């Protein structure tokens, strides 16, 4: 409505910076962005843009712009940036439909899910034309990551697992909210182990997703080796180890008696839990692994209000 009534325009502060960065990237390319030191940001200190932004939004807009130029559609980069949020909100609704249908096997449930995601007020505010912020593409990437992983877990396909890992890479490149994906999926896998429903498909999908996903996420400069060392990533590491031990025990079960196996299971899980707990406490207290402000806000809703008020004001929370 704003575009119809007035004009195609970028609004808010962060979207303007993202737009300016995208314009630079369309001229200089991805490597140019990685090496760009912007003397006009954070004046007078300047800013090394390549290592301090999630480039997924800019990459998406630039690729769309380059494609349109290639097929001789002379659309200005500003218009691409203005309309990318509403276009991707439509893709989010379609992906939500696919996710729910994959989980339930019923198209009607998928249609209701698509309807619900379309009327979420906080998402509407982030998907309006001109709202050129990370969430414009990141919400789609988040839902698509869950969908592709669930599809891989149902099929046990190596190809589907690799697709899920690359979907996760797109999410990592787009928004810091990727930590929700890399923690929710391990929690689901751990639940499958506890409930005795962890089959070969889950084992293959999570193992491939974990290994390839972390290798790819390290390639994003703003993330780097935080994907290995930060406290937000400890859970996927622990669940990966537990999953390997679980299948090792299943293999041992076929070669030992029932009584001996039960004793071995108690010893393994008690010892593994103790080692993982001691390791986590050691990394936390020595400072080798730290919680981010986003995660501390999730664990303690009053944390942001006390220490980082600007985060407490963001509608994503």
User: What pLDDT, in 10s, does the model give residues 173-220?
Assistant: 999 889 889 999 999 999 998 888 888 999 999 999 999 999 999 998
Helical (H) or strand (E) element with 38: strand 37-38
**Same domain (yes/no): 86, 169:** no
Prior bond of 44 cis (ω within 30°)? yes
The pLDDT of residue 54 is 92
User: Is there a contact between 98 and 154 (Cβ–Cβ < 8 Å)?
Assistant: no
Structural domain ending residue among the three candidates 133, 164, 196: 133
Q: How do residues 82-111 score in pLDDT, each as one tens digit?
A: 999 999 999 999 999 999 999 999 999 999
What is the mean pLDDT of the segment spanning 114-126?
89
240 and 119 in a single domain? The answer is: no
Domain count, the chain: 2
Query: Exposed e or buried b for every residue in 16-45, given b needs 16+ CB within 10 A?
Result: ebbbbbbbbbbeeeeeebbebebeeeeeee
Give yes or no: residues 61 and 174 share one domain: no
Q: Domain range spanning residue 7? A: 1-133
Q: Give yes or no: residues 113 and 225 share one domain.
A: no
Global model pTM greater than 0.85 = no
Q: Mark whether 126 and 196 lie in a shared domain.
A: no
Single out the residue in 98, 133, 168 at which a domain terminates. 133
Whether residue 184 is found in the same domain as residue 293? yes
Instruction: For residue 231, tell me if it sits in a domain.
Output: yes
The reply to whether 123 and 172 lie within a common domain is no
């Amino acid at each position: 409505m704003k575009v119809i009534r007035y004009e195609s325009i970028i609004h808010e502060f962060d979207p303007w910076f993202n737009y300016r960065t995208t314009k630079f990237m369309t001229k200089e390319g991805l490597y140019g962005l990685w090496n760009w030191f912007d003397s006009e940001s954070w004046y007078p200190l300047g800013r090394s843009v390549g290592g301090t932004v999630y480039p997924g939004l800019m990459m998406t807009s630039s690729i769309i712009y380059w494609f349109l130029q290639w097929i001789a559609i002379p659309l200005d980069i500003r218009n691409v940036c203005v309309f990318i949020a509403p276009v991707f909100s439509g893709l989010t609704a379609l992906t939500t439909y696919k996710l729910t249908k994959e989980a339930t096997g019923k198209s009607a449930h998928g249609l209701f899910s698509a309807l619900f995601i379309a009327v979420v007020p906080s998402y509407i505010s982030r998907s309006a034309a001109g709202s050129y912020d990370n969430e414009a593409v990141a919400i789609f990437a988040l839902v698509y990551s869950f969908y592709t992983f669930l599809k891989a877990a149902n099929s046990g396909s190596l190809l589907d697992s690799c697709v899920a890992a690359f979907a996760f890479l797109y999410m990592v490149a787009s928004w810091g909210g990727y930590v929700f994906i890399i923690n929710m999926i391990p929690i689901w896998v751990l639940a499958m182990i506890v409930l005795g429903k962890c089959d070969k498909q889950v084992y293959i999908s999570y193992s491939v997703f974990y290994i390839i996903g972390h290798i790819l996420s390290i390639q994003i400069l703003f993330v780097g080796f935080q994907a290995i060392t930060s406290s937000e990533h400890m859970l996927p590491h622990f669940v990966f180890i537990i999953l390997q031990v679980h299948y090792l025990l299943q293999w041992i079960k076929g070669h030992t008696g029932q009584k001996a196996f039960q004793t071995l299971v108690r010893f393994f899980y008690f010892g593994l839990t103790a080692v993982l707990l001691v390791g986590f406490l050691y990394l936390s207290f020595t400072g080798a692994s730290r919680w981010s402000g986003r995660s501390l806000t999730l664990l303690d809703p009053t944390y942001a209000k006390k220490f980082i008020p600007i985060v407490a004001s963001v509608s994503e929370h």
